[in-house]
Structure 1
Amino acid sequence: MNPGAHVPDSYYERIDEHRYKPTVHASGAWDPDELHFSPLGGLVVHAVERHLAERAADAGLTLGRISIDILGRLALDECEIQVGTVRPGRTIELVEATVLVAGRPVVRARAWLLATSDTSAVAGGAPAPLTPPDRCAPWDMASLWPGGYIASLDVRTLAPPRPGRTTAWVSTGLDLVAGETVSPLASYVGLVDTANGIAVRQAPTVWMYPNVDLTLHLHRQPEGRWTGLDTTVVFGGSGHGVTTTVLHDVTGPVGYAHQMLTVRPQPPAAG
């Protein structure tokens, strides 16, 4: 970037109704020339919510599950998001979103929206809340991972990270989309994919373990600016791994996230 050039204070800038341009803050951890999936996941939720608002979907439906598949390389380039309703309904609705880069689908997502009602009389079974972020130690995650996205984060850990096991709070001072009001849910989801990078089992300079998907199940809608990640990473013996996370906000647990990993050695350096 040229000295004195404007540095945007968001992960994306809108081009038109369905297209978005990533900023330098959206660059990835495995390859700074690629997108980090985390803010793109939040952008998908934002597009889904805009679609529902445009078609005046029935009030009282909230997102209960979103499952996102990563189909290929996420180039650090403008993208188009196409959203459609697969299964309309007054109490249950299924919406699908496709992200295209250079006309090629790179992400597909399906979101279940469910009717809300008062079930507080039978609520229970969730884990205990986490220690609040203002009582946790800052962690320089950028010392482990490169890329603009990781550099943009405020990360606080409840205890020093251990291989395959870390609990951390993640936040950012950047907007998801420049100049646009974004829901707490979209902002929250825009940080969840960080989970696979906080509890590394092996040094990312020696082993690769990118995720091919991200699935969230929510029993409560998240609030506030902090995303809590109580994360465990397991590697199997045949090249597969799973990252499992209990999701929290500052009030308590909100649901669960899972990521399927492809585990393989880093290729030897050329030359």
Structure 2
Amino acid sequence: MTTPSAAPDSYYQRVGEHRYKPTAHAGGAWSTDEQHVSPLAGLVVHEIDRYLAASEQPAKGLALTRISYDILGRIALEECEITVETIRPGRTIELLEAVVHIGGRSVVRARAWLLATLDTSAVADTPQERIAPPEEFTPWQMGDVWDGGYISSIDIRRGAPASPGRGTVWLSSRVDLVSGEPSSPLASYIGLVDTANGIAVQRSPKEWMFPNMDLTIHLHRRPEGRWAGLDTTVSFGPTGHGLTSTVLHDSVGPVGHALQTLTVRPLTEG
């Protein structure tokens, strides 16, 4: 087992060409000896960015418009290796797959669709309304609800409290994704999105578990700036299943949507 570094400046440190060591900042909310999916999701995009930059035929003019993460099991707070390959090459549409390995086991499998970019500004529009800017929201100590190094590393501003299962927040991070390496704004933004499942709880996480099995992000434009806005709704069904649905924002307005499938069960189950 690899002991996580306590480096104050990043979620990960590079230890090999495609290997990364998590710091204490990557600690999970459900269990502090696991990685939170948020920074790991950003790390996957960081590795995809590196893969595209090193490609003999780089995907010029293509933009990531959807990425889906399937969580295959426990994500230990240990060194991980990320492999990336092209599943469907193309000049206007391309599909990539990234797999996160820990201890010789695949723990996350992600697929990313890249689409050609062209000027559609004349018809750009969305019926989704903008949320108020971060400066109009109130600082929130999310650590009062959740544990873990990741939760402690982010700046959170929350809108007026709503009913259980509804919440709107702005998030930004105080640390880098990878120590000593610049990350794209997209990787940094996606590194915040999985937080959505914890901002609008239906029931106390001290009484119920509702971890997400996946994370799917759809984008209709590239996020800008350091803040990620999450306008989130959480629904629990009657048979142990749930769904977290989020409209994603940046300082300009809505940028897309995120969905997370939940497994819902009482902590006292036995």
Amino acid at match of 2:17: E
Which residue of structure 1 aligns with residue 70 of structure 2? 69
Instruction: Determine whether 1:11 maps to 2:11.
Output: yes
Query: Structure 1 CA distance, aligned partners of 2:228 and 2:110?
Result: 21
Question: What displacement does 1:173 show?
Answer: 1.2
Q: By how many angstroms is 1:57 displaced?
A: 1.3
* Cα deviation, residue 188, structure 1: 0.2
Q: Counterpart of 1:225?
A: 226
Give the structure 1 partner of residue 26 of structure 2: 26
CA distance in 2, matches of 1:164, 1:98: 31
Per-residue deviation at 1:6? 5.9
Deviations 1:43-70 (A, max 9, x none): 0011111111100413110000001000
- The alpha-carbon distance between structure 1 residues 189 and 87, as it changes in their structure 2 partners (threshold 3 A), is same
Q: Which moved more, 1:6-15 or 1:175-184?
A: 6-15
In the aligned structure 1, how far is the partner of 2:224 from the partner of 2:199?
Answer: 22
Conserved 8 A contact 2:61-2:117: yes
Structure 2 residue aligned with 1:173 = 174
Q: Aligned residue for 2:235?
A: 234
TM-aligned CA deviation for residue 153 of structure 1: 1.0
* 8 Å Cα contact 2:6/2:23 also seen in 1: no
Offset of residue 170 of structure 1: 0.6
Matches within 5 A, 1:209-220: 209-220=210-221
Aligned equivalents of 2:215 and 2:269: distance in 1? 29
Unmatched 5+ residue regions in structure 2?
A: none
Give the 5 Å matches for 1:1-271.
7-55=7-55, 56-267=57-268
Distance (whole Å) between structure 1 residues aligned to residue 59 and residue 100 of structure 2? 25
Cα contact 2:63–2:114 (8 A) shared by 1? yes
Show CA shifts across 1:103-142 (max 9, x none): 1000000000000000111111241211110121101100
Residue-by-residue CA offset, 1:242-262 (whole Å, 9 max, x unaligned): 000000000100000000000
**C-alpha distance in 1, partners of 2:43/2:142?**
23
Kindly report structure 1 stretches of 4+ aligned residues shifted beyond 3 Å: none
Tell me the secondary structure at the aligned position of residue 46 of structure 1.
helix
Q: Secondary structure at the match of 1:210?
A: coil
Q: Distance in 2 between matches of 1:138 and 1:54?
A: 40
Query: Which piece of structure 1 moves more, 146-155 or 120-129?
Result: 120-129
Structure 1's 63 and 6: CA in aligned 2 closer, same or farther, altered over 3 A? closer
Amino acid at match of 1:19: R
Q: What secondary structure, in the 3-state scheme, does the structure 2 residue paired with 1:49 have?
A: helix
Q: Is the CA contact (8 Å cut-off) linking 1:136 and 1:156 kept in structure 2?
A: yes
Distance 1:6 1:204 in 2: 26
**RMSD value, Cα:** 1.3
For the Cα contact (< 8 Å) 1:126–1:253, is it kept in 2?
A: no
Give deviations 1:2-49, integer Å, cap 9, x for gaps: xxx964310000001100000000000000011111000000011111
- Cα pair distance change 1:162/1:152, threshold 3 Å: farther
Q: Deviations over 1:56-109 (max 9, x none)?
A: 413110000001000000000000000000001000000000000001000000
Is the 2:70–2:109 Cα contact (8 Å) retained in structure 1? yes
Q: Which amino acid in structure 1 is aligned with residue 50 of structure 2?
A: R
How far residue 267 of structure 1 moved from its aligned partner, in angstroms, is 3.4
TM-score by length of 1: 0.95
Give the number of aligned pairs: 265
Percent identity between matched residues is 64
> 1: distance between equivalents of 2:83 and 2:268?
35
Report the TM-score when normalising by structure 2.
Answer: 0.96
